[in-house]
């Protein structure tokens, strides 16, 4: 009888152990399934911003975590520019980056992990607090995942739980190590893709955005200006007598002039403004949330700053550079017009104002008035006919068998 009771108790204990093992197996299977689903999403992320959103939002929901934060090493500010560009495009909410920290140096992460480059699981301590934006007592256990590539720390992913048993010292870290490796690879791949995108949207000579980027960007700016009832200014800028600089001093000097002018224009703009090289010696600028008075001040600062620069050709000869600027404003939201038509009229008005600045003696800022519906068509023809008008103007200044008169 005693033997039967012992056997029965042992059977109950074994069934309980088996039940516990089956429960853990099911949990691990479910965890692996969720890991697999999220890994596929990470690998398929189309941008750095989408990847960050998946890590900070989806992982938090999928695993029922109270806190998920991410730190990325961003020495040159490259990730910052990429993420700001994505957020400005209106593709995602600013909340997509809640919990993200961009570090100018890997030093804080090296201090966190020291010589170990493996995930840490254990109780929350005070030296973990800088990596979590959490009130005191909200986190009891943490999992810290170092993200490394080529033996170098590129970031760190942090999980925080209110359950002290969620992450315990000594627990296996196979899943987390694999996750960290995949995240690091995905981050590197996303940054590479973003670099390729930027390369196709950046002017190789001046380093500012190119016309392709501008044509993608200005409909977004106009849409946001109309939606939130913000003002929007557009400037066309053209270096005066640039062909003469190229012909007299060579294309190397002309290239240096373009680079210098681009840097000066950019130095007068805010972080949210857009500058692009439109073509040749022409640049275009968008100033969101800028009224006419402020936009004209910016244009005048650009014009005077360029007028003050003194460049030297390779021959040692001094070069004087000036610029003409045409400025236009987006019509008030009460005025009729769809976004594409408004965009065309805004750009055409700035172009027409630039043409007036050129005709008015150069080295000046001209503001466009209202935008009549026919202006876009007229301005386009003005752009096409501008070289012909220049030729006719020069012919008028030529005497019979004589040379062109110098401009005053």
How large is the angle between the packed helices 242-249 and 251-267, nearest 10 degrees? 140
Q: Active site residue: 50, 221, 256, 281, which one?
A: 281
DSSP string over 143-172 = EEEEEEETTEEEEEEEEEES-TTTS-TT--
Single out the residue of 302, 314, 198 nearest to residue 248, CA to CA.
314
Element (H, E) at 329: strand 323-329
DSSP string over 281-318 = TEEEEEEET--HHHHHHHHHHHHHHHHH-EEE-TTS-E
**Token output for 28:** 């691990």
Q: Are 325 and 237 in contact (CB under 8 A)?
A: yes
How large is the angle between the packed helices 174-200 and 2-43, nearest 10 degrees? 10
Q: Are 219 and 80 in contact (CB under 8 A)?
A: no
Q: Encode burial over 392-402: b for 16+ CB neighbours within 10 A, e otherwise.
A: eeeeeeeeeee
How many Å apart are CA 158 and CA 71, to the nearest integer? Answer: 8
- 254 CB contacts (<8 Å, ≥6 apart)? 242, 245, 246
Note if 29 is an active site residue: no
> Helix-strand-coil percent breakdown of the chain, rounded to 5?
55, 20, 30
Active site residues: 281
């Amino acid at each position: 009888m005693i033997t039967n009771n012992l056997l029965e108790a042992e059977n109950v204990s074994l069934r309980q152990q088996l039940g516990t093992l089956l429960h853990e197996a099911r949990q691990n299977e479910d965890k692996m399934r969720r890991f697999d689903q999220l890994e596929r999403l990470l690998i398929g992320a189309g941008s750095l911003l989408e990847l960050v959103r998946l890590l900070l939002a989806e992982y938090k929901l999928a695993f029922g975590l109270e806190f998920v934060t991410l730190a990325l090493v961003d020495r040159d500010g490259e990730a910052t520019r990429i993420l700001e560009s994505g957020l400005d495009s209106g593709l995602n909410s600013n909340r997509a980056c809640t919990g993200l920290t961009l570090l100018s140096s890997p030093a804080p992460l090296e201090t966190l992990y020291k010589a170990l480059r493996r995930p840490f699981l254990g109780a929350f301590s005070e030296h973990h607090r800088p990596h979590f934006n959490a009130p005191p007592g909200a986190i009891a256990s943490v999992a810290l995942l170092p993200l490394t590539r080529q033996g170098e720390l590129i970031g760190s992913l942090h999980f925080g739980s209110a359950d002290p048993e969620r992450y315990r010292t000594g627990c296996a870290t196979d899943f987390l190590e694999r996750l960290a490796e995949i995240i690091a690879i995905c981050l590197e791949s996303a940054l590479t893709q973003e670099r390729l995108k930027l390369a196709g949207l950046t002017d190789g000579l001046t380093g500012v955005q190119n016309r392709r980027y501008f044509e993608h960007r200005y409909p977004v700016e106009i849409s946001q200006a109309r939606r939130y009832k913000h003002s929007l200014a557009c400037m066309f800028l053209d270096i005066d007598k640039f062909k003469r600089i190229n012909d007299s001093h060579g294309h190397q000097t002309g290239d240096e002039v373009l680079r210098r002018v681009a840097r000066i224009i950019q130095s007068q703009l805010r972080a949210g403004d857009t500058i692009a090289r439109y073509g040749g010696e022409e640049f275009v600028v968008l100033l969101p949330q800028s009224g006419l008075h402020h936009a004209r001040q910016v244009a005048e600062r650009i014009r005077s700053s360029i007028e003050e620069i003194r460049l030297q050709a390779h021959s040692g000869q001094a070069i004087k550079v000036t610029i003409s600027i045409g400025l236009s404003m987006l019509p008030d939201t009460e005025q009729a017009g769809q976004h594409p038509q408004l965009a065309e009229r805004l750009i055409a008005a700035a172009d027409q104002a630039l043409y007036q600045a050129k005709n008015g003696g150069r080295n000046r800022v001209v503001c466009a008035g209202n935008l009549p519906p026919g202006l876009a068509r007229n301005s386009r023809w003005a752009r096409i006919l501008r070289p012909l008008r220049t030729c006719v103007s020069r012919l008028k200044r030529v005497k019979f068998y004589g040379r062109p008169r110098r401009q005053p």
